[in-house]
Chains A and B, each alone.
Chain A
Amino acid sequence: MDIFWFLTFAVLLAGYFALEGFDIGLGVLLPVLGRSPAARDRLVGAMAPFVLANEVWLVALAGVLSGAFPASQPLSRVYPLVVALLLAWIVRDAGLWFRRRADGAAWRLFWDGALCAGSAGLALAWGAILVAVARGLRPLDAPGVVAGAAGGVALLALFAWHGRTFAAWRLREGPRAGGRALLLSACAAAAPAVLVTAAAGAHLLDGAAPDPALTVLSVMVVPFAPILVGAQVWVWRTFSRGALPTFF
């Protein structure tokens, strides 16, 4: 039973990186790909209908962590990094939700800045967290800081590339407008997280809840799995083509 929930954890994490990765990457590239306010509106319109469906993968992951692996306790061991991740996430979301809620070029520019800075913070924090987990969640030392920073920058570059292939695919622009390039960059974006999870699997499984608790969780969740998957598929079928929504 704990293996089933470990696989669920891995799938949610891989899904989060593959999906939210392009939102984060596009946010980082916003000032580069969108030189004018109108161009930025198009880029945000391309990702907007996906963001809500993408970021829930991480919330679900946190739920699985507390329900299925309560004794694994990874969050508190990278406390400052998780706090930075959450703050960046909040700022990124605020940028998306608020950028069109009032008029004026300065208002829009400010929240586009928040969207870009929050996205960059998300990528950097994730890179540093993955490095910290790969190093066995040791207390932070000087080489750890350097490695964490390098991991953050590397993940930022990876997400930026993923965001670019998503924009090319959704907006049908440039030579890489095909779905194959997007699939490739999605796999690449998910790869680091999958590798680190596989490496840290033993630690996670040590913290698993006992079988009766996991069985209850499975009985409650598994019947709804087709609805969860179906909702995600419906989002992609609805928003992959056609005009760009303007609410965000």
Chain B
Amino acid sequence: MDVVGLARLQFAVTGSLHFLFVVLTLGLAPLVAIMHTRYAIGGNPLHERMTRFWGQIYVINYALGIVTGLVMEFQFGLSWSGLSRYAGDVFGAPLALETLLAFFLESTFLGLWIFGWHRLPRGLHVACIWVVTLTAYASALFIMVANSFLQHPAGAAEEGGRLVLRDFGSLFTNPSLVFALPHVVGAGLWAGGFVMMGAAAYHLFRRTPEREFFTRSLRLGVLTSLAGSLLTVGFGYAQFGPVASVQPGKFDGAVPGTALGLMIMIGQLVQFAVTFVLAPLLIRDLLARWRWLHPLLMAMTPLPFLAAIAGWLAREAGRQPWLVYGKLSVADALTPGLTRADITASFVGFAGVLGLLALVDYVLIARAVRRGPGQVALGAADLPVAAEPAPAHSL
């Protein structure tokens, strides 16, 4: 594989890994915020346990979202300096806004939320998780703005061999963005709902003592997936018109065509199952009681993640050979002088380290699910600041 191919592969692998964790973050953040709000208002201990249990799953997942995101952020400057040189005056703005207005606040307030148990007043503590949720969605907005600009460079004009910003508002009304953003948000809710459903099915199947906890979680998970699937599939189909108008023939190639087909197949089948089987079975908690269905629910959990990766492959592979559609090719955007040794070493390093950490993270999430709400570290008691006194000698 040549240097361009390796740099593309590095971006595709790290980007896919990143999105596996981002999609769950987007789905779980609002659910945890709602649980925490209900606890703050009603004081029901069950809501506190739900907040801490699902909050811990959310936080373990978030760890990999951060470290994979770091690599994404710096990769533009490392491997694709031609993009900044040609389109940085426009493309750089949403990236800068994502870091300053979204991620900066998201991470700071997440720290306050994680470590603020027993310390912050209840109302302010709940406000922290809402700011985290809001800024996570602001991140999604800015990143989708940046990506949509690559699909369709609206709001910019070429001057002296580089793109200059003509109309900032056009970045946000880009036809590649307006239906894609709710499509991605829906996919996040779907993934979050399915993780909740799968984990609840595990505990109900194992007949652990947490029956009420997981019957409620199962209901919340299925209803969230239902809402998510409606958004995802609806806005997915709605995209075909605008996409065809700015990127004709986008899905004609073998890779984007196959990825699109896989995503639609999963989306259709699973939406059908959620809408006509799982959601109706919530009546009188039949779904929680029909134990024979639970292994199937567990097996279905990864499907929204698979569909999400297929969706990104279709969107990005369909842009080839352009980095900025119709303006700048991927090959021309490559950092000049990037050597094969450099890109090979960084690809092996990033893919190896992040791949291993992703596996460890999923094992830890599975472990946290298995241990259940009885053993949650999030919100556990603090440590006294004074060192443990040495055992006193008796006189």
Chain A residues with CB under 8 Å of chain B are 38-39, 41-42, 45, 48-53, 55-56, 59-60, 62-68, 70-71, 73-76, 79-80, 82-83, 86-87, 89-91, 93-94, 97-98, 100-102, 170-173, 209-210, 212-213, 216-217, 220-221, 224, 227-228, 231-232, 234-235, 238-239, 241-247
Q: With the chains together, A217 CA to B286 CA distance in Å?
A: 53
Given contacts A94-B357, A172-B385, A247-B377, contact A49 B78 (CB under 8 A): no
CA distance A38 to B386 in the complex (A): 12
Of A56, A71, A238, A246, the residue contacting B88 (CB under 8 A) is: A71
Decide if B110 touches A52 in the complex (CB within 8 Å).
Answer: yes
Known contacts A42-B383, A66-B77, A244-B382; A79 and B105 CB within 8 A of each other:
no
Give residues of chain B (316-369) contacting chain A, Cβ–Cβ below 8 Å.
335, 338, 342, 345-346, 349-350, 353-354, 357, 360, 364, 367-368
Q: Residues on B close to A: CB < 8 A? A: 59-60, 63, 66-67, 70-71, 73-74, 76-79, 81, 84-85, 88-93, 95-101, 103-105, 107-112, 114-120, 164-165, 168, 335, 338, 342, 345-346, 349-350, 353-354, 357, 360, 364, 367-368, 377-378, 380-385, 387-388
Selected from B67, B103, B381, the residue in CB contact (under 8 A) with A93 is B67
Which residue of B91, B100, B342, B350 is within 8 Å of A63 (Cβ)? B100
Contacts of A42 in B (CB 8 A): 383, 387
A66 touches B342 (CB 8 A): no
Please state if B353 and A91 are interface contacts (CB–CB under 8 Å).
Answer: yes
DSSP majority for the B interface? helix
Taking a contact as CB atoms under 8 Å apart, the answer to whether B96 and A66 are in contact is yes
CB pairs A–B below 8 angstroms (23 shown): A41-B383, A42-B383, A49-B111, A60-B100, A63-B100, A67-B92, A70-B84, A70-B85, A73-B84, A75-B74, A79-B335, A102-B367, A209-B88, A217-B93, A224-B100, A224-B105, A228-B108, A232-B108, A239-B115, A244-B382, A244-B385, A246-B382, A247-B378
By the criterion CB–CB under 8 Å, are A90 and B70 in contact?
A: yes
A41 CA to B377 CA, complexed, in Å: 14
Secondary structure of the A contact surface, majority rule: helix
Most chain B CB within 10 A, of A87, A91, A100, A232, is at A87
Closest to B88 in A: A70
B70 contacts A87, CB within 8 Å? no
Chain A residues whose CB sits within 8 angstroms of the CB of B164 once the complex forms: 210, 212-213
B80: nearest chain-A partner, CB-CB:
A76
Expressed in whole angstroms, the Cα–Cα distance for A42 and B105 within the complex equals: 27
Complex CA–CA separation, A68 to B84 (angstroms): 11
B115 touches A247 (CB 8 A): yes
Q: Which residues of B contact A238 (CB under 8 A)?
A: 112, 115-116, 119-120
| A52 contacts B108, C-beta separation under 8 Å | yes
User: B335's contact among A66, A76, A235, by CB below 8 Å, is which?
Assistant: A76
Contacts A56-B103, A86-B70, A213-B90 given; indicate if A100 touches B63 (C-beta within 8 A).
no
Contact A246 B383 (CB under 8 A): yes
Q: Which residues of B contact A55 (CB under 8 A)?
A: 107
Least distance between B15 CB and chain A CB atoms (Å): 15
Q: Which residues of A contact B335 (CB under 8 A)?
A: 76, 79
Q: With A and B bound together, what is the CA distance between A82 and B342 in angstroms?
A: 11
Question: B77 — which chain A residues lie within 8 A by C-beta?
Answer: 62, 65-66, 73-76, 82
CB nearest to A79 among chain B residues: B342
9 smallest CB-CB distances across A and B, nearest first, come from: A70-B88, A67-B96, A63-B99, A52-B111, A75-B77, A243-B382, A97-B63, A49-B115, A67-B92
Q: Are A228 and B100 in contact (CB under 8 A)?
A: yes
Kindly list chain B residues whose C-beta atoms are within 8 Å of the C-beta of A51: 111
Could you say which of A38, A63, A213 contacts B95, with CB atoms under 8 Å apart? Answer: A63
Given contacts A66-B76, A83-B78, contact A101 B364 (CB under 8 A): yes
B66 shortest CB reach to chain A, Å? 7
